[in-house]
Amino acid sequence: MFNSLNAQPVDKIMALMQMYREDPRDNKIDLGVGVYKNAQGVTPVMRAVKAAEKVLWDIESTKSYTGLAGDPAYSNALSGLVLGDAKDNTRLSMAAQPGGTGAIHQAVELIKMANPGATIWLSAPTWPNHPSIIKHLGMTMAEYRYFDNATRAVDFDGMIEDLKGVKAGDAVLLHGCCHNPTGANLNFEQWKEVAALLEAKGAIPFIDIAYQGFGDGLEEDVAGVRLIAQAVPEVMIAASCSKNFGIYRERTGLLMTLSANADQAGITQQNLTHLNRQNFSFPPDHGARLVTMILEDDGLKADWMAELEEVRLGMLSLRQQLADELRSRTNSDRFGFIAEHRGMFSRLGATPEQVEKMRVDYGIYMVGDSRLNIAGLNKDTVPVLAEAIVAAGV
């Protein structure tokens, strides 16, 4: 049977990580993989997570199953963090998922159950897992323009023009904040326009929020999500705790849906629970429990927020340092976008040849589309990257 299987394409980021590991140069710089790293190049366990784990060890009395949709306290706490005042419990259905990826996968399955003929619209570019999951589940997809390679900002006119082609019942995938891979984001006015357009079209916003707290702040980063939640009757939100709680391997995510009314929300909930049952029965609990403990305890929450803010400000200062270095080296403002982008990533707009040159000549590893992970830098490596960017003729 297995001899009928086809080989799968190599994951480009995994291949890049492998090349990085095999590079003998000790001044090599890894700007590839999408995990946060501090100035020492370490992805730390956050203080509040460690503290919660200690308490949990003492108080956890069973590891029996939770509910099929996970622990309601977790869904409540995390949906509160994401939706805040826009949380409408009467329309909300939720199911815990193994990571943001699990939530995205489950959301696509839900679309498939509800409307198998729907088209799922993706930004060009987007996180490569989006199209690969949609393709795997046999759904149709289309692209809308998003990134303007000349300005390295959002091509908003192009985006709106393309989204005018959306049909009722289609789903439109939007990055809640900190767009991956570009770092270019919608402003609040633009979110309003997108919300009005999708509402008028009868399309369903499908928001992937994986970096809340990494951009402009915990509240600021979900302003668009909350606006959509209040403006559009049916919404899907896939949230991940991997980055903002630093619990990547604990697989902690949540799928939330807003239905048009309370009756429909009840049926949607049954379908979310059914999908969990088919895919894995009970979702993982350890990460979800830590998140719940942190969000429900004022002291732990304050410490988590303080550490997250240090992470956010650290990345912003690296962005500013890099933009300043490039300004003084090029005597121009053409790299000013690096300080404007938000989150862990920026798309530099370099050609594959320039990306390759930076790897060969400087040992700088970024993804082939010139996405660089700002958190892979530190004060000392920023000038090296700036030199490489200029030398490669970007």
Q: Does 346 bind ligand PMP (CB under 6 A)?
A: no
Active site residue 298: no
Distance CA(248)–CA(257), nearest Å, equals 23
Cβ neighbors of 304 (< 8 A, separation 6 or more) are 46, 47, 48, 49, 245, 294
Is 99 one of the binding residues for ligand PMP (CB under 6 A)? yes
For residues 189-208, which are near ligand PMP according to CB under 6 A?
208
d(CA 241, CA 43): 15
Q: Which of 170, 208, 221, 285 is catalytic?
A: 208
Is 280 one of the binding residues for ligand PMP (CB under 6 A)?
no
| CB closer to ligand PMP, 91 vs 319 | 319
Shorter beta-carbon distance to ligand PMP: residue 182 or 268: 182
**Which residues, listed in sequence order, are joined to residue 65 by a DSSP beta bridge?**
none
Q: How far is the CB of 175 from ligand PMP (least distance, A)?
A: 6
| Contact partners, residue 361, CB within 8 Å, separation at least 6 | 388, 391, 392
The catalytic residue among 210, 239, 323, 375 is 210
* Among 97-105, 132-140, 316-324, 385-393, the segment contacting ligand PMP (CB under 6 A): 97-105
Catalytic residue status for 210: yes
Whether the CB-CB separation of 51 and 266 falls below 8 Å is answered with no
Rounded to whole angstroms, the Cα distance separating 229 from 168 reads: 18
Whether residue 243 lies in the annotated active site: yes
User: For residues 153-182, which are near ligand PMP according to CB under 6 A?
Assistant: 175, 180
- Using CB under 6 A as the binding rule, the residues of this chain from 119 to 138 that contact ligand PMP are 127
Where in 206-265 is the site for ligand PMP (CB under 6 A)?
A: 208, 210, 240, 242, 248, 253
Q: Which amino acid is at 357?
A: K
Amino acid letter for position 133: I
- The residue from 37, 201, 243, 357 that is catalytic is 243
The catalytic residue among 127, 203, 265, 323 is 127
> Is the Cβ of residue 181 or residue 363 nearer to ligand PMP in the bound state?
181
Q: Which residues does residue 236 pair with via DSSP β-bridges, in sequence order?
A: 206, 257
Smallest distance from ligand PMP to CB 299, Å: 26
Whose Cβ is closer to ligand PMP: residue 139's or residue 326's? 139
Nearest to 286 by CA among 99, 83, 82, 36: 99
Site string for ligand PMP, 53-92 (x = CB under 6 A): ----------------------------------------
Number of residues that bind ligand PMP (CB under 6 A): 13
Q: Is 25 helix (H, G, I), strand (E, B) or coil?
A: coil
- Radius of gyration over every alpha carbon of the chain, rounded to an integer in angstroms: 21
- The answer to whether the Cα torsion of 263, 266, 272, 277 is positive or negative is negative
Q: Which is nearer to ligand PMP, 93 or 240 (CB)?
A: 240
First to last CA, the chain: 49
- Rounded Cα distance between 238 and 225, Å, is 11
Directed axis angle between helix 223-231 and helix 188-201, to 10°? 30
- The residue ranges that bind ligand PMP (CB under 6 A) are 34, 99-101, 127, 175, 180, 208, 210, 240, 242, 248, 253
* Residues with catalytic function: 127, 208, 210, 243
